[in-house]
Structure 1
C-alpha cells in the first residue's frame, strides 16, 4: 500500500559512469512485483544483460524456495535465492545456509494461533519447512492466500507433527496483522523475531535469521562488498537487508521505516522501480 513520509532519501544519485555492482538483491512483493503480483515485462532481458556483465541477481523474499524457483525457472541456473525471509538460501538446488526453528517454538506459536482462532480471530498459520509448507486450515479463502506464496503446501491434521526442518511460522490475518496477530505473539519477541512482513502477514523466526544476515553471509562467500551490492525493499522484513548494501533503495510505495533506513529512493513497484533504477545506474 502507498505511504506518505518526509523527509525522503535522495532520488538523484551522483553517478557519472557505470557502478561496480556485482550483486543485486530485491524483495519481491511490493518491490519487484507490481500490485497484481506480476514481474516487469522487461525482466528477462534485463537479467540476461546482467548475467553478461557478471552481476548476480538474487530474489530475497518471505516466499518459499519452491515458489521463487518456479517464478525464475527459465533463468534459475546459477541464481541464488534468499527464501523464507533469509532462513533458507539455495543455489542450483543446493542449500547454502539455513536457520531452522526448534520444534518447541513451532508448537508454542501453533498454540497461540489455535487460541486466537478459538476466540474468533480470522487467522491461520503456515508452518514453513524446507520441503513444503504445512497448514491446518483448509478453507478456500485461506488456501488461496497461502497458494500465492507457497506453491508447495499440504493440509495436515497437526502441523507440529510433520517431519521436516521448519524455517519459520508465517501467520496470515484476514484483518490487520499489526493490530491483532503481532500483539498475541509479543511473549515470543524477547527470544525470537516477530516480524510484520505485510499488511496481513507476521513471521516468527529465530533471532539470528533475517534477510540481512543471509545477504551478509552470501557476500562473504562470494567476496562481494557492500559497496558492490544494490538492494531494493519496501517493508519491515527488508530493513536489515538494506543495511548490508551501500546502494540501498526504498521503493516510493515503501513503509516509512524502510524509507528512513534506505540511502536512496526508487520509483514505486507499479512504476517498474527496480529495473528502471538498475538500468539507469548500471547504464544497461
Structure 2
C-alpha cells in the first residue's frame, strides 16, 4: 500500500506561481512544520539546503528550541554562517555570534516559577494533580528542578544543554524565556495559571504541551524582521512556514507565508498560503514548487 506521505503528495497540489519569486530568505518552524512524524529532519532537506545555499538564499530555522539544540541538528551543513532564531525569537545567533537576546527580569522568572509550584500544590490538594514542570531557559543552558525520566525525556528533545538544579530562580545566567511543559493540555491548565502576565509579557501556547513566557518585545516575527533588516531582504523576498500560535507574528513578516496542513486554526487564518503537512514533507515540496526547482535538485 502507498504510504500516508505519498497519498498526501497526490492529494495536496501546491500552487506554482507563473514566475518564481525572488526569494532570498526561507524561515521555518521545526516541530509540526519541518520535522517529520518522528521528530527528525527529513533526508530531502539536505539537498534542498545545498541548492538554496548555491543560489544565495538564506535558510533559517525558527523554533522554541534552544540554540545549542538547533546548532547540533544542522551541524552537518552549517559552514559557520547559518542563522538560528532560537527560544521563540528571544535569542538569534549567526555564525556562532549573538545577534540579539531579549532577557527576562529575574522577578518575573521567580513569579512564574512560584505560580507553577502553586498550581501543582493546589491540584494535588484537589486530587487532580497537574503534571507540569518549569524550564528556565538561559543563554548558556536550560535549568529544571524535576529530574524524573518522563519529564527529562521531553526536556532533552528541545534543550541539548540542560542542568538539574535545586532552585531554577537562583541560576547564574541571563534568562531569555521560561517554558512550562504539561503532560496534559497546556492551553487549559498552564496558560490560565499564567494569565495575570498577559498584560505585561508574552504568554504563548507554543504546542499542545508547552507554554512559553517572554518579554512582549520578543517573538519570532520581531526576530525575522530584524534579520531582514540586517540582510537587506524584504517581506516580498521571504518565505515563512509555521503551524502553531508561536508562529503567528513571523507569518506577518513574509509575503510568502505558509500554514502547514493541520495547523492551529488561527495559523490557518493568518497565513496567506497553505503547505502540505509536515508528515508529507510539506516545507521541502513547497519551496521546490514555488522556486521552480526540480524534485531532487
TM interval, short-chain normalised = over 0.9
SS at match of 1:177: coil
Of residues 81-90 and 12-21 in structure 1, the stretch that sits farther from structure 2 once superposed is 12-21
Distance in structure 2 (CA, Å) of the matches to 1:217 and 1:24: 14
1:108 aligned to 2:114? Answer: no
Q: Is contact 1:194–1:205 with CA below 8 Å preserved after alignment?
A: yes
CA contact (8 A) 2:25 2:233 kept: yes
Partners of 1:11 and 1:265 within 8 A in 2: no
Q: Aligned with 2:211: secondary structure?
A: strand
How many angstroms apart in 1 are the aligned matches of 2:33 and 2:14?
A: 19
* TM-score w.r.t. length of structure 2: 0.91
Q: What secondary structure, in the 3-state scheme, does the structure 1 residue paired with 2:187 have? A: helix
Q: Secondary structure at the match of 1:230?
A: strand
Contact 1:11 / 1:266 at 8 angstroms: preserved in 2? no
Q: Segments of 4+ in structure 1 off by > 2 A?
A: 10-14
Residue 219, structure 1, aligned to residue 218, structure 2:
no
Alignment gaps of 5+ in structure 2: 1-11, 125-129
Confirm or deny that 1:18 pairs with 2:20: yes
* Other-structure match for 1:78: 81
Q: Structure 1 residue 40: deviation in Å?
A: 1.3
Once the 2 structures are TM-superposed, how far is the Cα of residue 17 of structure 1 from its aligned partner? Answer: 2.6
Aligned length: 275
Do the aligned residues in 1 keep the contact of 2:24 with 2:237 (CA within 8 Å)? yes
Q: Is the 8 A contact 2:33 2:283 kept in 1?
A: yes
**What is the DSSP-based 3-state SS (H/G/I as helix, E as strand, rest coil) of the residue aligned with 1:265?**
strand
Task: Flag structure 1 segments of 5+ consecutive residues without an equivalent.
Answer: 1-9
For 1:272, the equivalent position in structure 2 comes to 281
How many angstroms apart in 2 are the aligned matches of 1:164 and 1:118?
A: 27
Could you tell me how far 1:283 is from its partner in structure 2? 1.6
CA deviation map 1:105-154 (0-9, x unaligned): 00000101111122231110000000000000111111010000001100
- Correspondences of 1:1-284 after superposition (within 5 Å): 13=15, 15-76=17-78, 77-119=80-122, 120=124, 121-284=130-293
Q: Deviations over 1:76-126 (max 9, x none)?
A: 221100000000000111000110100000000010111112223111000
Q: What is the TM-score with the length of structure 1 in the denominator?
A: 0.95
